[in-house]
A = this chain, B = another copy of it.
Amino acid sequence: MTTIYDISKATGFSPTTVSKALNDYSDVSEKTKQIILKKASEMGYIPNSHARILITKKSWTIGILFDEKLNIGMKHPYFNAIIESFKENVESRGYDLLFISKDLGGNRTTYLDHCIIRGIDGVIIITSHPNNEQIIELINSDFPCVLIDNECNRKSSIHSDDVRGCYLAVEYLYSLGHRKIAHIYGSKDTFAGNVRLNEFINSLKKFNLPKIDEYLVDGGYFSFDGGYNAMKKLLELEDLPTAVFTAGDFMAVGAISAIKEKGLRVPEDISIIGYDDLDICKYVTPRLTTIKQNTDLIGKNAADILINEIDKKICRTSMIIPVELVVRDSCKPIK
C-alpha cells in the first residue's frame, strides 16, 4: 500500500505538502501539485479512509437500521423499495451505506454503540417496532437519525399521508356504492397499523357510515397469512361486508385467497382495496386496486433530511408524502 510518506520520499516533498497537493490546497504551487499528483498516480496511491476518518471525524458512511416483524428482511417488498431509493440518493451524494446489526466482531453491542464504534455520520431507522429498548436508546441520543414510517418528537421522520390514504380508500368504495366496508388492520403495535385503523374509522364518519366492530379485524404484521386468516373471520359473519380495505397489499392478496376459497368472487361478491402498491398488485388476479405509497419519494427525502441534519443545516424535519389511489380490477360498484 502506497502512503503519502512513500510519495513524500519519491518526490522529495514533505508529507504535509503531499497531503495538501492531494487535497488541492491553495498553498501548494501548481508545479508541485502536478509532480505529486503524477507520482501518486504512478505509484497507485489510494488513500486510507480510516486514517482520514480518525482525524476528520467524518466517515461518509450512513447506517441503516432495519428490523421488521416478518423476519424476511431485505425480501420485504415495501421496505426494500424504500431502501433502494434511499441508497441511490445517499450514494449519489458520496455516502456509503452500512447495515447496523446488533453484534460486531462477536461482541454484544447495542445499536447506538454500533453506530458510535463505526463512526457513522447518521442512521436511517426502518422498523415496525419502535418500542424496542435499543431503538429508544438510539432515538434519545443525539445521533443524527431519520425515522421511516414512524413519528417521534425527538427525531426527524417521514411517512405517507395515511390520513388521506385511508380517506381515498373509503371514498372510492363509497363512490362505488359500498356501505358495508370492513377493515383488516395491521397490528396495533405498528405505527402504520394504528394510524390506518384510526383513519379508517375517521373516514367512515366523514361519510356517515357506522363503525361496526365485527368489521374491524386484526391482520397481524401485514402478511399474506394474516390477511387470509382475518378474512376468514370476516367470512364467518352473518352479514358480510361488500368491501374490504386492508392496511397492506399482502394482506389484501391473502384476503382474496380466502374469499376465493369460500367460493365467492372478487370483485363481483366482495371488493378489495389494498395499501402500498407493491409490484405484486399487477400480477395477481384480479389485479389489485390499492393506495400507492411513493417509496421513491420517501427514500429520496429521507436521504435529504438525514444529510441536511448531518451537515447541520437543519435540526429536525417531519415530512409527509402524498399517496394516490391506483384503480385496477379488485373493486366493483355494488350490484
Contacts and interface: CB of A to CB of B under 8 A. Distances in A.
Given A49-B119, A117-B48, A96 B87 contact: no
A73 interface: yes
Assembly stoichiometry (copies): 2
Interface string A265-289: 0000000000000011001110000
A283 B253 contact: yes
28 contacts: A1-B116, A46-B117, A48-B117, A49-B117, A49-B119, A50-B50, A50-B53, A50-B119, A60-B105, A73-B84, A73-B87, A74-B74, A75-B77, A75-B80, A75-B81, A75-B84, A75-B279, A94-B103, A94-B104, A94-B105, A96-B98, A96-B99, A96-B100, A96-B118, A279-B280, A280-B283, A283-B283, A283-B284
B77 A103 contact: no
A54 interface: yes
A84 B74 contact: yes
A111 to B, nearest CB: 12
Interface of A: 1, 46-51, 53-54, 59-61, 72-75, 77, 80-81, 83-84, 87-88, 91-94, 96-101, 103-107, 113, 116-119, 224, 253, 279-280, 283-285
A251 to B, nearest CB: 12
Most central of A49, A72, A106 by chain B CB within 10 Å: A49
B88 A73 contact: yes
A259 to B, nearest CB: 13
